[in-house]
Copies of this chain bind each other. A is one copy, B any other.
Amino acid sequence: MSLNDMMAGLEPSRQGGLFDGIRKVVPYTPGEQPKGLDRIIKLNTNECPYSPSPRVMEVLAGIDGDLLRRYPSPDNEPLLSALSEYYGLDKKMIFTGVGSDDVLSMCFLTFFNSGRPVLFPDITYSFYDVWADVYRLPYKTLILDDDFRIDPTDYSVSNGGIVIANPNAPTGVSLDLDKIEYIVSHSRDSVVIVDEAYIDFGGESALPLLERHENLIVVRTMSKSRALAGLRVGYAFGNERLIKYLCDVKFSVNSYTLSHPAIRGAVAALEDDEYFKSVIGRIQSTRKAAEEALSSMGFVFNESKANFIFVKHERMDGATLYEALRERGIFVRHFNKERISDYLRITIGTDEEMDSLFSALKEILP
């Protein structure tokens, strides 16, 4: 049959139009990644101001072609073993993915299909409602109090899952472990995810709760405290059965998610714990100094347990401040969203970067 013969017989069935079967969504908007990084100060995506452990770059430099031409281990070994050893948890309790966003996305896809609404705070990581939408899961947001605090009893209602960021983003507010446990205990029939992207900078991890709660998943990332945003590595902990279901879904989406450089670089970062701790110490110390400086300039904020501070000024609104800083080459994050439009989320940079920020603010503020 020639092409012309075939075309002559062309009679497409017009069932619904090409664009009818398409999943249409409003995606998450990540923080700007502006060009010309040398000249600007970037305090808008909670990246670590310091490089990762030098061992990571050594490992990347040692990767050879015979490794690269082969598929990685489908279970992301040797990273899985390194995480197991570092955290003292069985490999069957660990899941790994392409940043914690990939891990959280897989958790939404796997765990939240009961038809009941997924619960999370009204002010939190703005990707949660996006995942609910893309996977067509019902959800309900619960209002934080005026100090951006969670009332755990709000969550003791029928639900199809719960997601709590601790410390919360963008507020930096942390939730005590007994309140986390209250929430987990009162929703035994659904999976409760504690998103600990910022836990290394302060706050109390929910990891110890794993041994007595089978419905708990704890999610972590290497993008912030381990300075590996550019390597894309995240992971989760949970009981064996939940992790098995999560792995089944992951293996139904992509057999090989982490590249050899990501796997090996992540292992190297875990091995250099001394470096990791020194970076955390420096950021905590800069955060403390920043809290004092910002406070003296008339900013108000809750105590932050993360690598950012969520601030509001007494006499100037968030959008104006954001724009004025941007004009001076300083990028912070502003959310044009109810209840928080007066706030800025400022990532903790180096001491020098913070000094530039304070100088700029002194120029800007009335």
A binding-site residues for B, Cβ under 8 Å? 1-3, 6-7, 10-28, 30, 33, 37, 42, 45, 47-52, 54, 56-57, 60-61, 63-74, 98-99, 101-102, 105, 109-116, 130-131, 133-134, 152, 156-158, 160-161, 178-179, 181-182, 185-191, 214-215, 223, 227-232, 241, 245, 247-262, 265
Contacts and interface: CB of A to CB of B under 8 A. Distances in A.
Nearest to A54: B65
Contact of A12 (B102, B185, B230): B185
B47 A230 contact: no
B223 A71 contact: yes
B69 A112 contact: no
The secondary-structure label for the interface of chain A is loop
Contacts of A157: 13
A190 B18 contact: yes
B19 A241 contact: yes
B25 A248 contact: yes
Given A23-B109, A249-B25, A259 B261 contact: yes
Contact of A67 (B12, B179, B230): B230
A65 B69 contact: no
> Which of A37, A54, A74 has the most C-beta atoms of chain B within 10 angstroms of its own C-beta?
A74
Nearest to A112: B21
> Which of A12, A17, A49 has the most C-beta atoms of chain B within 10 angstroms of its own C-beta?
A12
Nearest to A31: B71
> Which of A26, A67, A186, A259 has the most C-beta atoms of chain B within 10 angstroms of its own C-beta?
A259
Contacts of A258: 232
B65 A227 contact: yes
A65 B51 contact: yes
17 contacts: A1-B182, A12-B185, A13-B158, A16-B189, A21-B112, A22-B113, A23-B249, A27-B251, A33-B73, A47-B69, A60-B61, A68-B227, A72-B230, A98-B98, A105-B254, A130-B252, A259-B259
B73 A52 contact: no
A22 B189 CA distance: 11
Contacts of A247: 27
A33 B74 contact: yes
A186 B88 CA distance: 57
A346 to B, nearest CB: 17
Contacts of A27: 247-252
3 nearest A-B residue pairs (beta carbon)? A51-B65, A21-B114, A27-B251
> Which of A3, A23, A24, A189 has the most C-beta atoms of chain B within 10 angstroms of its own C-beta?
A23
A64 to B, nearest CB: 6
Nearest to A279: B69
Given A3-B178, A60-B61, A98-B257, 5 more contacts: A10-B186, A15-B116, A72-B232, A231-B260, A259-B262
B189 A23 contact: no
A54 to B, nearest CB: 7
A34 B313 CA distance: 59
Nearest to A30: B255
A13 B159 CA distance: 9
Contact of A52 (B68, B102, B116, B158): B68
A186 B12 contact: yes
A112 B186 CA distance: 38
